[in-house]
Amino acid sequence: MKLLITGGAGFIGSNFILFMLEHHPDYDIINLDKLTYAGNLENLVSAAGSRHYTFIRGDIADAKLVHDILDTRVDAVINFAAESHVDRSILEPAAFITTNILGTQILLDCAREKRVGRFIQISTDEVYGSLGPSGRFSETTCLHPNSPYSASKASADMIAHAYYETFGMPVMITRTSNNYGPYQFPEKLLPLAVTNLLEDRPVPIYGDGMNVRDWIFVTDNAEAIDLVLHKGKEGEVYNIGAGYESTNKALIDSVLRLMGKPESLITYVKDRPGHDRRYAIDPSKIINELGWSPRTSLDQGLKATIDWYSTHRAWWDRIKSGEYLAYYEKNYAVKGLKGY
Ligand SMILES: NC(=O)c1ccc[n+]([C@@H]2O[C@H](COP(=O)([O-])OP(=O)(O)OC[C@H]3O[C@@H](n4cnc5c(N)ncnc54)[C@H](O)[C@@H]3O)[C@@H](O)[C@H]2O)c1
């Protein structure tokens, strides 16, 4: 099989590429990535030497480039490329609309024209909006996005589904809960906490810390996407979640415990506007229909993640010393976090 993976230099995309090279060593993989602030080719150093892996720097919204790539007889497109951080979508929504909506539509158009055999749109549980204290999102839950990020992802989902209904395109959509693991950019909660704690710096938590997320280790998500690629039914949505619900506060408490750090390093900061209270995924469909199940418990995954950041300091040091510093100070402009 020959795959076009977009956004493969980001967190989940790079983990997915490494997973596929390991589990399908005869597949050819093209990684198309614009290398925004979130794209990092250092994630793929171990893939770079493989004759089955090609990197192309470019934009999914560049139709000519995407056509040229698809002309090389690509069997499937897996679209990870996105602006992915909710906080950034609140500060500057425009890029989210351009990449997440327009970019996806251009990619769909190109894939349709070249009759690509499979198109997987990588989406998020955030498109469903916020839950009360009980219940879980199923694939038939109405979409109710609340941030510019989730609204742009919901729009892309609807366009992708429309291409299935209208043009008979072989589109599938995956909606996954919060991923964590190696190579996650240290602006997201877990890598931010772990890297700050490794430096004995404070960990910012939004609001009262009681927002609930459903956590999945990134390689479990990679395995689920691999299954959807091979066994998924055209036109279907698959929820992917491992069933590890936790408040942000409880999650950070676990990290503090595992790292042997004091609770006094937690700093509560002003809540994110429109912050969804609770997400929880019902993954029964992918479990029952495709035979998927998560392998990594939250405790195992947290240990592996802490271990990875502890032993890859050069990776995140380079990120934290650059453009990210200015963004961090703008976003978490609170006393007590100076110099984080
Ligand atoms: N991180 C999560 O917990 C999570 C959960 C559910 C779904 N998702 C979805 O999974 C996908 C990947 O998320 P992530 O956390 O790896 O994101 P990320 O921000 O780490 O990576 C995104 C990648 O896309 C690239 N990119 C951005 N705009 C592009 C463009 N116009 N053309 C080509 N490449 C472009 C970036 O350079 C980067 O490498 C996204 O679609 C996201 O919505 C993420």
Paired strand residues for 243? none
What integer is the mean pLDDT of 240-261?
A: 98
pLDDT in tens, 172-221: 999 999 999 999 999 899 999 999 999 999 999 999 999 999 999 999 99
Task: Using the atom order of ligand 1, give the atom closest to the CA of residue 103.
Answer: 31
The confidence band for 338, taking pLDDT boundaries of 50, 70 and 90, is: very low
Q: How far is the CA of 11 from the centre of ligand 1 (A)?
A: 7
Please state, for a pLDDT cut of 70, what percent of the chain lies above it: 95
79 lines ligand 1 (CB under 6 A): no
What integer is the mean pLDDT of 223-231?
A: 98
59 lines ligand 1 (CB under 6 A): yes
In the 3-class helix/strand/coil scheme, how is 19-73 assigned residue by residue? Answer: HHHHHCCCCEEEEEECCCCCCCHHHHHHHHCCCCEEEEECCCCCHHHHHHHHCCC
Domains of the chain from N-terminus onward? 2-179+215-240 (3.40.50.720), 185-212+248-276+298-328 (3.90.25.10)
Q: How far is the CA of 34 from the centre of ligand 1 (A)?
A: 11
Instruction: Identify the burial level of 311 via C-beta atoms within 10 angstroms of its C-beta, where 0-12 means exposed, 13-18 middle and 19 or more buried.
Output: exposed
What integer is the mean pLDDT of 40-51?
A: 94
What integer is the mean pLDDT of 271-280?
A: 94
Q: Which of 126, 214, 245, 276 is catalytic?
A: 126
**Structure token pair of residue 287:** 């479990």
Task: Using the atom order of ligand 1, give the atom closest to the CA of residue 79.
Answer: 41
149 classed as catalytic: yes
12 lines ligand 1 (CB under 6 A): yes
Q: How far is the CA of 128 from the centre of ligand 1 (A)?
A: 18
Q: Which of 53, 128, 149, 163 is catalytic?
A: 149
38 lines ligand 1 (CB under 6 A): yes
The residue among 274 and 143 whose pLDDT is bigger is 143
* Whole-number pLDDT of residue 325: 58
The confidence band for 334, taking pLDDT boundaries of 50, 70 and 90, is: very low
Which helix (H) or strand (E) covers residue 4, if one does?
strand 2-6
Paired strand residues for 119? 77, 171
87 classed as catalytic: no
Predicted confidence (pLDDT) at residue 81 exceeds the cutoff of 60? yes
Range name among 5-19, 33-47, 313-327 with the lowest pLDDT average: 313-327
* Whole-number pLDDT of residue 335: 36
List the residue whose alpha carbon is closest to atom 1 of ligand 1: 179
The confidence band for 333, taking pLDDT boundaries of 50, 70 and 90, is: low
pTM confidence score: 0.95
278 lines ligand 1 (CB under 6 A): no
Please state, for a pLDDT cut of 90, what percent of the chain lies above it: 92
Residue 84's identity, in one-letter code, is S
* Whole-number pLDDT of residue 186: 92
Q: Which of 83, 125, 214, 276 is catalytic?
A: 125
Predicted confidence (pLDDT) at residue 327 exceeds the cutoff of 70? no
**Structure token pair of residue 120:** 């997987």
Predicted confidence (pLDDT) at residue 31 exceeds the cutoff of 70? yes
What integer is the mean pLDDT of 161-165?
A: 98
Q: How many CB atoms are closer than 10 A to CB 119?
A: 24
* Whole-number pLDDT of residue 284: 98
- Residues belonging to the chain: 340
Predicted confidence (pLDDT) at residue 324 exceeds the cutoff of 60? no
* Whole-number pLDDT of residue 67: 97
Distance CA 199, CA 238 (A): 39
In sequence order, what are the residues at sequence separation of 6 or more whose Cβ sits closer than 8 angstroms to the Cβ of residue 35?
9, 41, 57
The confidence band for 160, taking pLDDT boundaries of 50, 70 and 90, is: very high
186 lines ligand 1 (CB under 6 A): no
Q: How far is the CA of 264 from the centre of ligand 1 (A)?
A: 33
Q: How far is the CA of 231 from the centre of ligand 1 (A)?
A: 23
List the residue whose alpha carbon is closest to atom 7 of ligand 1: 124
